[in-house]
Amino acid sequence: MKMKLASILLAGASLMTAFSAQAAEKVTLQLKWVTQAQFAGYYVAKDKGFYEAEGLDVDIKPGGPDIAPAQVLAGGGADVIVDWMPSALATREKGVPLVNIAQPFKKSGMMLTCLKETGITKPDDFKGKTLGVWFFGNEYPFLSWMAHLKIPTEGGAEGVTVLKQGFNVDPLLQKQAACISTMTYNEYLQVLEAGVKADDLVTFKYEDEGVATLEDGLYVLEDKLKDATFKDNMVKFVRASLKGWKYAEENPDEAADIVLENDASGAQTEAHQKGMMTEVAKLTAGATGALDAADYERTVKTLLGGGSDPVITKEPSGAYTTEITDAALK
């Protein structure tokens, strides 16, 4: 009798588990880059059960050099993506209707890191130099900055030569470029880890130069927001994700460990991820996750002011909504 009762209870538990798994709404998130602390909030939200508590089954897909999040989204391979606003607005203008639904990152971590030995001390000193620049949508903030400085990007004594930089710091270490693109939380740390002393470097943060644009926001396709179920899922997803980000800020070492546990490549190191998480927390600190209209307008103004070849050619319309965060933050 006891065995029969145990079997019934076990079967019941299995049915409940199966029902719960079936009932959970599936959401696929496409990251902008590989698994690292830049995306800690999402991994923490999944690890801590924040998504599960919202009735969501979230699949987090890492990015990489050959993965364009907007293309994945447009092709139906994801429900929501992480992207930088310059890339998202440029993509929207080209016909893929991306909409920002949340902005976990308040500040920009982008900068140019230069060797002091090149004699560069101010932006005007870029003239005649070779600068490493990321592409695949990451070039837009740089091109806008150069346009604001009125520095051509086709080379020459009064311009800069653009070196298409891979996602590494080799051009600086090998002195192929006077400056390279770096993030405060990643490549700059890689330069230091390679043995270069901070005193031998000069850095220019986009925030300090007045040309910072919004990074790491959450984007969906505009038409999807017409579906009530999808919108409800995004409210739940954003609410859980923001909870994950706050937990990561308050527990950076644990957050870094969670990221490492999810790194299938095994390429990340504990020291680097913990350093990255510390720096990333500075960019999300103070953010509610709701897009600040002033930050959006500053980004648009920067992108429109790109001289004869601006990143976007007209003021965007419908490029963001606060409906999701309004509901998520109640």
At 311, is the pLDDT very low, low, confident or very high (cuts 50, 70, 90)?
Answer: confident
pLDDT at residue 66, as a whole number:
86
Could you report the per-residue pLDDT of 285-295, keeping only the tens digit for each? 999 999 999 99
Mean of pLDDT over the chain: 92
Q: Residue 28: pLDDT band by 50, 70, 90 thresholds?
A: very high
Q: What is the pLDDT of residue 306?
A: 66
Could you write out the three-class secondary structure of the chain? CHHHHHHHHHHHHHHHHHHHHHHCEEEEEECCCCCCHHHHHHHHHHHCCHHHHCCEEEEEECCCCCCCHHHHHHCCCCCEEEECHHHHHHHHHCCCCEEEEECCCCCCCEEEEEEHHHCCCCHHHHCCCEEEECCCCCCHHHHHHHHHHCCCCECCCCCCEEEECCCCCHHHHCCCCCEEEEECCCHHHHHHHCCCCHHHEEEEECCCCCCCCCCCEEEEEHHHHHCHHHHHHHHHHHHHHHHHHHHHHHCHHHHHHHHHHCCCCCCCCHHHHHHHHHHHHHHHCCCCCCCCHHHHHHHHHHHHCCCCCCCCCCCCCCCECCHHHHHHCC
Cβ pair 225, 46 in contact under 8 A: no
Q: For residue 14, what pLDDT band results from cuts at 50, 70 and 90?
A: low
Residue 3: its pLDDT value, please?
47
Note the pLDDT of residue 307. Answer: 65
Confidence band of 5 (pLDDT split at 50, 70, 90): very low
pLDDT value of position 310: 83
Percent of the chain whose pLDDT exceeds 70: 92
Please give the pLDDT value at position 177.
98
Mean pLDDT, residues 309-326 taken together: 94
- Who wins on pLDDT, 141 or 179? 179
Does the structure show a pLDDT above 50 at 281?
yes
* Choice among 3-12, 47-56, 79-88, 175-184 with the minimum mean pLDDT: 3-12
Tens digit of pLDDT for each residue in 166-177? 888 999 999 999
Residue pLDDT, tens place only, 182-216:
999 999 999 999 999 999 999 999 999 988 999 99
Global pTM value: 0.89
Confidence bin at 249 (pLDDT 50/70/90): very high
**pLDDT one-digit tens code per residue, 222-236:** 999 999 999 999 999
